[in-house]
Structure 1
C-alpha cells in the first residue's frame, strides 16, 4: 500500500516538473528539450506527456512540439485572482501613501498580465483594466520582470512578441533593451518614461524570489510623477515588494 502511494506521489511530482519546465521555456518545447532538462528516462517522459495530453493540460502540436494545454488556463485565472486579492491590501497602502495608481502584473507567456490594481483618488489618473495584457519591453512592470530573467530568455520572449513602438520614447531594439535592463539591475527598479503612453510615467519593481516572475508599479501623469515623487516611490516599492514576497512564502508554507 505504501509503495503504491509513494509511486503515485512521485508521478505527480514528475508531471508538475515537466509542466514547470515547459513554462520556463515559454510554454512550448520539444521532446529533446525536456529530455535534456530533466534526468527522467525518455519512456517516463513519454508516459507522463501522454497522460497530460489526454487530460488537456498539455497539447501536442502538428510540429510534434508540446505546449501547455487549455485546461491550465482556468487554473491560471483562479490563481491570478487569488494572487491579486493577496496583493490588493499592499497596493492600497501604496496608493494611500503616494496618491497614484498601483498595479501588480505577472509574466504571462511572452507578455505581462495585470492581475490587480488600486486606482488613484485623483480625477486625472491612470487606469489599467485587470486582465489586460501588455508588452514586456515598453512597460515598467514588463521591464522590471525582464531584468530578473536570463538574457537568453529575454531574447526569446521579446523575439516572440516583437517590439512595437507606441510612442517615440519606446525602446525599439534588443541592444537598447539590454542596456536598459543593465541599468534596472544596477538601481533595482524600472521606469516607464512615456514609453507606452505619452504623458505617463511609471516606477516598477520585481517581487524578489517570486515563483512566477511578477512586479508592482506606481504610475501617474508626468506632471505629478516626477523626480521628487521618485524619492518617495522607490522606498514604498521596496517595502511593498518585500511584503508580497513574505506573503507568498507564508502561502507556500
Structure 2
C-alpha cells in the first residue's frame, strides 16, 4: 500500500503540472470528487480520490462547511452543500438555454445525438445532451465522466495543448484500453492529436465504446486562440449511420455550432 507521503508527493506533482494556485486546485478536486460520486463520500474515500492527506482535507472541508458549500455527515463524511445550488442555477441561466438550442440544432441537422462536455481535471464530464430521434441512438448520462484519451471531446480539448502538457496528462492518468480500438501508446496518440489540429476536429472511432463513432470540436473564444472554458461539442451515433460522409458533414456543422457557442460564452 502506498504511504500518505507518497500520495502527497504525487498529488503535489500533478498540481504543479496543471498550474494554478494549489489551494484552489485542492478545493476544486474535493468538490469534483464528491460530484463524481453522487454528492457524498466518506472521509477516507474522499482522501483516496483527491490524494490529499487527511489533515489537509479536514482543513479544506472545514472551511467549505463554514461557507455552506459542503455539509458534514454523521459518519464524518462530507456531502455537497446547498450554497452550490444557486451557483449552478445562475450558470445555467447565463448559457444553458442557448447551449441547449445549439445542441437541438445539431440534432435537427444531422439526426444524431449531440453532446456538450467540459474538461474536469484529467477527465471530461458531459453536462448537456440532445438525443437523436432514432430509436437506436447513443445516450450518455449527463454528469458522466470519461477519459480524455479515448473520447472525441477529450481529444478535441487536448489538441489545444502543447505535446509536453499532453504527455503529463497521460502520465498521470494512464491510457486505459477502453476498447480494442483505443490508442494506448503515447506516440500513436500524439500522432492522432496532430491530425486533430490539422483538420480541426477529433474522431472517436469505437475507442470509447464498440459500435459508436463520435465527432467532436473544441469551443474557442471569439479570437480563436483560447479554448472557451474548456468546452467541447460532439455528435455521436452508431457506426452504420455514422459513415465517413456523415462524419464530414458533422465536422462542418459542429464547427459552425462551436462558433455560435463561443460567442455566447464571450457574452456571458
TM-score > 0.5, shorter chain as reference = yes
Give the conservation status (yes or no) of the 8 Å contact 1:84–1:104.
no
Could you tell me how far 1:241 is from its partner in structure 2? 0.2
- What residue ranges of structure 2 are gaps of 5+ in the alignment? 1-11, 31-50, 71-79, 222-226
Q: Deviations over 1:74-125 (max 9, x none)?
A: 4885576555444110000000110000001011010000011000000000
SS of the counterpart of 2:198? helix
Given that 2:115 and 2:234 are in contact with CA atoms closer than 8 Å, whether structure 1 keeps it comes out as: yes
Structure 1 distance, partners of 2:129, 2:14, is: 26
Q: 1:149 deviation in Å?
A: 1.4
1:224 matched residue in structure 2: 241
CA pair 157-110 structure 1, distance change in 2 beyond 3 A: same
CA contact (8 A) 1:28 1:65 kept: no
* Partner Cα distance (1:211, 1:242) in 2: 10
Counterpart Cα distance in 1 of 2:218 and 2:96: 15
1:125 counterpart SS class: coil
**1:204 has 2:221 as partner:** no
Match of 1:171 in 2: 183
Matches within 5 A, 1:43-58: none
Tell me the TM-score normalized by structure 2: 0.67
CA distance in 2, matches of 1:204, 1:130: 17
Separation (CA, whole Å) in 2 of partners of 1:227 and 1:100:
14
SS of corresponding position for 1:198: coil
Instruction: Give, in whole Å, the separation in 1 of the partners of 2:161 and 2:89.
Output: 25
Give the TM-score, by structure 1 length.
0.71
State the distance in 1 between where 2:55 and 2:169 align. 21
- Please say if residues 214 and 237 of structure 2, whose CA atoms lie closer than 8 Å, have aligned partners that are also in contact: yes
The reply to whether residue 28 of structure 1 matches residue 15 of structure 2 is yes
Count of residue correspondences: 209
Distance of aligned partners of 1:87 and 1:166 in 2 relative to their CA distance in 1, 3 Å threshold: same
- The CA deviation at 1:166 is 1.6
CA RMSD of aligned residues (A): 3.5
Distance in structure 2 (CA, Å) of the matches to 1:121 and 1:214:
25
Provide the C-alpha distance between the structure 2 equivalents of 1:93 and 1:65, rounded to a whole number of angstroms.
46
The residue that corresponds to 2:167 in the other structure is 155
Alignment partner, residue 40 of structure 1 = none
> Structure 1 pair 230/105, CA: closer, same or farther in 2 (3 Å)?
same
Deviates more, 1:193-202 or 1:227-236: 227-236
SS of equivalent residue, structure 1 residue 202: strand
| Aligned residue number for residue 41 of structure 1 | none
The residue aligned with 1:236 is: 253
Whether the 8 Å CA contact 1:201–1:220 is kept in 2: the answer is: yes
Q: Is residue 97 from structure 1 mapped to residue 109 from structure 2 by the alignment?
A: yes
State the alpha-carbon separation in 2 of the partners of residues 80 and 159 from structure 1: 33
* 1:129–1:57 distance in 2 versus 1, CA, 3 Å: closer
Residue 117 of structure 1 corresponds to: 129
* 1:143 pairs with 2:155: yes
**Matched-pair contact (CA < 8 Å) for 1:84–1:115:** no
